[in-house]
Every structure is written in C-alpha cells, then in structure tokens.
Amino acid sequence: MGLGTVAVTGAAGNIGSVVREALRGEAARLVLVDRVPLTPRAENEDVHTVDLRDAAAVESALAGADRVLHLGGVPDEAPLADLLEANVLGTHHVLEAARRAGIGRVVLAGSNRVTGFYPVGHHTGPREPVRPDGLYGVSKVAVEALGQLYADKFGLSVICLRIGSFEHRPSEPRHLATWLSPRDAVGYLRAALTAPPSTRFATVYAVSANTRRFWELPDPAVLDYTPVDDAELHAADIPGAGLPADPTAPQAGPYARPEFTLRHLKA
C-alpha cells in the first residue's frame, strides 16, 4: 500500500528523525511539523514550524495529508499544566484537524508509562486498566482517550502505539525488557500507517522482541508487525544485567518513584 502524503509532527525529535529518513523514499510527500525549524532534505519534503497549541496552524500544516503520525509533545515527566497543553491539547488539535480534513489514518505516539505500576512479573496487555506511573503517563492516558473518542464519535481511524524505551542500543537493565530498537520502531510505525482502513481503533505496545519483555506483542490481526530485535543480545554490555529482577517491582522502574514526580509539583 502506498503511503501517499504523510504528515509527521515532532519530526525533529529522536523518533521523528529516524522515521523521516525511513519514510522519505516511501511517501509521495512528507510534511514535517515541529516547533523547531527544519530544512527540507529532499524534493518531496515540506517543513512547517508549528506550535501544537495553535489549532489553526496545525490545521493548515496537515491540510492535504493522507495519514498523520503524531509524535509531537513533551516526552517525559513535567508539570501537569505543561503536559496538558503540549500533549493533551496538542493531540486534540491534531485529531480535530484530521476530522475536519477527512484524513484517513492517525497514528498517536502513546507510551508504556500508562501502565508503569504493573509489576515486572505481570505480562501486561493493552486491554487492562491503565496504571500510569506519573503525570506524563496521565497525559498519555488522555491522548489514548482522545483517540478512542474521535474513532467512536467521528469515525476516524486511530492507532495508538505504547512506545517502549527507544534507544539505538539498550544501556540499562530495564531496557532488557522495554527496549524498542530504531528498526522495530520504524516497523511498528509503518505497519500502523498502512493498517487496513477497517481498523477503527487499536492500542498496542511497540516493543522489540526482548526475551525479558513484560508487555504483549500485538495480535497480527490488529497490527501486522513482528519485531525482530532482542535486547538480550546486548546484555553482556549492560552493568547489572545478570542480577535477577524483582517480580514485584513496578515495570516503570525509577519513573515510579515519588521523587520523580514530586520535583514537578509545587511545594
């Protein structure tokens, strides 16, 4: 299936930069959106400097797109007001622009942090109740809820990817379970962009085929991508990789600690 015109928000970010390189030769046109100024690198690239809080600017940038990959927003723990503006309101503007323009598919960058308080010993699937590990996780719960709303109420086709630990190489023990390699990230995103239009709404974990993972891989009937990389191949290079994991500890690891969020709360 051809990709047509693909709009990518957060195109200057870590994942956005990798996806830009991977999809440049596959999309008829790439519309790259970020609040950081970008420079076109190919004839089929259009760039837009946009703050996702500006609904009119978002709608203008996404006009003419066939598919939207929404990666933009605050990527980690922050004051709730900042997360609500960038992640929740920004996502609302993207979905509303897609509704108004009749865009066929929106892929939302969710996060594994929406279920960070499930224990390491629990194999977690996307249909279980959310257990966010912080304010960032709460904002991503809202992102998923907005996607579900726009799918149910307005008929958009929305896929939410609960992205794992995106790194070129795993570098800490938690990554042995949570790593998402660049190759697998592109695979998941491409599969989400090209899933059949009959897929009205889906939420899946985007994680590599890690031997120690504690999240379900997607059902091929929901998202047809099978990851290929395994963090275990890098275990020898990771200090502490040989220590047994506490099955009762939160999957979020240090992100679940009170101090991770307390520093963003008013005294």
The tens digit of pLDDT for each residue in 23-45 reads 999 999 999 999 999 999 999 99
Grade residue 136 by pLDDT with cuts at 50, 70 and 90. Answer: very high
Confidence of residue 134 (pLDDT cuts 50, 70, 90): very high
In a 10 Å sphere around its CB, with 0-12 CB exposed, 13-18 middle and 19+ buried, how is residue 79 labelled?
middle
Using CA atoms, how far apart are residues 179 and 207, in angstroms rounded to an integer? 6
Structure confidence at residue 266 (pLDDT): 80
Which residues 6+ apart lie within 8 Å of 94 measured at CB? 9, 52, 58, 62, 68, 70, 72, 106
* 63 residue type, one letter: A
> Cα dihedral sign for 55, 61, 67, 72?
negative
Q: Identify the active-site residue in 118, 136, 205, 225.
A: 136
Q: How confident is the model at residue 2 (pLDDT cuts 50, 70, 90)?
A: confident
pLDDT tops 60 at residue 4: yes
What is residue 1's predicted lDDT score, i.e. its pLDDT? 56
pLDDT in tens, 43-84: 999 999 999 999 999 999 999 999 999 999 999 999 999 999
Encode pLDDT of 165-221 as tens digits.
999 999 999 999 999 999 999 999 999 999 998 999 999 999 999 999 999 999 999
Q: Is 136 a catalytic residue?
A: yes
Tokens 């502490």, located at residue: 240
Query: Has domain 5-262 been given CATH number 3.40.50.720?
Result: yes
Going from N- to C-terminal start, the domains of the chain cover 5-262
Q: Whose CA is closest to 175, among 136, 213, 119?
A: 213
Encoded tokens for 127: 């249909």
Percent of the chain with pLDDT over 90: 98
Average pLDDT of the chain to the nearest whole number:
97
Q: What is the model's pLDDT at position 250?
A: 98
* Cβ count near 148 (within 10 Å): 15
Task: Collapse the DSSP code of 188 into the 3-class scheme (helix H, G, I; strand E, B; otherwise coil) and give the result.
Answer: helix
pLDDT interval class at 267 (50, 70, 90): low
What pLDDT score does 264 carry? 97
Q: What angle do CA 13, 18, 20 make, to 5 degrees?
A: 90
Q: Which of 19, 14, 12, 18 is CA-nearest to residue 33?
A: 12
Residue 229 contacts residue 208 (beta carbons within 8 Å):
yes
Helix (H, G, I), strand (E, B) or coil at 176: helix
pTM of this structure: 0.97
Q: How large is the angle between the packed helices 182-194 and 14-23, nearest 10 degrees?
A: 70
Note the pLDDT tens digit of each residue in 211-258: 999 999 999 999 999 999 999 999 999 999 999 999 999 999 999 999
